[in-house]
Structure 1
Amino acid sequence: MRQTITIKSIFYVLITLTLTACATMGDGNKVEQQQKILQMKDTVLTQLFANKPDTREQLSAAPGYAVFSNANINLIFIAAGTGYGVVKDNQKNTHTYMNMAEGGIGLGLGVKDYRIVMVFHSKDAMNHFVNSGWTFGGNADASAKAGNKGGSVEGEAYYGDVTVYTLTESGLALQATIKGTKFWRADALN
């Protein structure tokens, strides 16, 4: 019984620390936080273009795209994560700042810091995402990466009029989960 309480305590502390560390852009006023998100977007796009040069043209031709920074933790049967990002409307040259959270069930163990780039191939798909923002998905991956060291299995997926790319920044994870992800406007930043 005592061992179960200790394992549960460690589990809750790890989840709290991970989610708290990644849930916000840090301190600063509205403009400073927006700038941090835009810097993250530019860094992620530079990585994506280096790994998949054809994506530069794909993003330029699309009505819009989104870039998110996310961290998640998976302990045995439960997965949880949180993050933030921005949707760029290429036609209006505007940004919509957003938050994200995910939760799921499945078998896995690990912590992962990763980035998501979504390319919207239609204006309707982008508007639906910004206004509704809800998506379900399954996830299976393996990663062991710290900075430029290590490796990870990174993906590209297609959901109707949206192409999704994932890039792992760092982490050690082996997981197969079914999870739901919720994206919503960050009211304080828009």
Structure 2
Amino acid sequence: MKSKISVIMASLMIAIFIVSVPTTFAQEKDAKKEKKIQKQRKKFEHNKTKAVKEMYKAYPTSKAEMGKSYGYAAFANTGVNLFVLASGNGGGKAHNNVTGEEVYVKMISLGAGIGIGFKKYYAVFLFSNQSAYDNFLINGWSADTQADATADTGKEGEGGSVAVGMTVSEGVTLYQIADKGLAVQATVQGTKFVVSEELNAK
């Protein structure tokens, strides 16, 4: 009788082990995924803050424009190869100046852009109205159709073009900065900005 009970108990223990092991692995996988998401959210938040700061330094008049805007979207990407986004660092956040709502947005490489040689790159979009802001979040924005972009790597006031924002579509002005606050008069060819469903999930 005892032998039979022992066999039953052993069978139960094995069954519990078989059931619990996949559960444990799933929990560990979920925990790692959540940790990665939190890390990327923190990085994108930093990117947004840093990009706005760099914009103010490179484009002094942008601060007044920011104050008048409905919202903005600020991004950063750093590395030897600017648009190699495997690290997940290419991105930032869109901020609604009216409601205070923020949305995580990714930068996706569609091909080599003119800024490929820059080690640090920042971009800030200012939206003059709700329609332009909402359209950016719903449809994203891509510069792959822009052509003949040229870069001005001279500091403002030291020759070259004046550091001003570029009107890239109705109600949208783009400010770009690369390497040590240098103003870049260039289009980010081959790059698309899209809302990240994963990072915005509650």
Instruction: Give the TM interval when normalised to the shorter protein.
Output: 0.5 to 0.7
Q: Secondary structure at the match of 1:179?
A: coil
Does residue 43 of structure 1 match 2:50?
yes
Would you identify which runs of 4 or more consecutive aligned residues in structure 1 move more than 6 Å?
152-155
Question: Percent of pairs identical after alignment?
Answer: 24
2:117 aligns with 111
1:140 partner amino acid:
T
Q: Secondary structure at the match of 1:141?
A: coil
Correspondent of 1:161 among 151, 158, 171: 171
Does residue 189 of structure 1 match 2:191?
no
Correspondent of 1:126 among 129, 133, 142: 133
Q: 1:110 to 1:181 in 2, by over 3 A?
A: closer
Deviation at 1:89, TM superposition (A): 0.8
Larger Rg belongs to:
2
Normalization by structure 1: what TM-score? Answer: 0.62
Deviation at 1:188, TM superposition (A): 1.6
1:89 aligns with 96
1:149 aligns with none
Cα distance in 1 between the residues matched to 2:112 and 2:37:
35
Deviation at 1:141, TM superposition (A): 2.1
| Equivalent pair of 1:104/1:178 in contact (CA under 8 Å) | no
Q: 1:177 to 1:50 in 2, by over 3 A?
A: closer
| Equivalent pair of 1:130/1:184 in contact (CA under 8 Å) | yes
Cα distance in 1 between the residues matched to 2:78 and 2:95:
21
2:175 partner amino acid:
Y
Q: Secondary structure at the match of 1:140?
A: coil
Equivalence map 1:165-176=2 (5 Å): 165-169=175-179
After superposition, the C-alpha distances for 1:69-104 in whole angstroms (9 at most, x for unaligned) are 136988xxxx95542111101111011101122334
| Equivalent pair of 2:127/2:171 in contact (CA under 8 Å) | yes
Deviation at 1:189, TM superposition (A): 1.1
Q: Please, what is the CA RMSD of the aligned residues?
A: 3.5
Q: 1:72 to 1:29 in 2, by over 3 A?
A: closer
Unaligned runs of 5+ in 2: 1-33, 155-159, 181-185
Q: Secondary structure at the match of 1:92?
A: coil
Correspondent of 2:77 among 59, 62, 70: 70
Deviation at 1:29, TM superposition (A): 4.3
Unaligned runs of 5+ in 1: 1-26, 145-151, 171-175
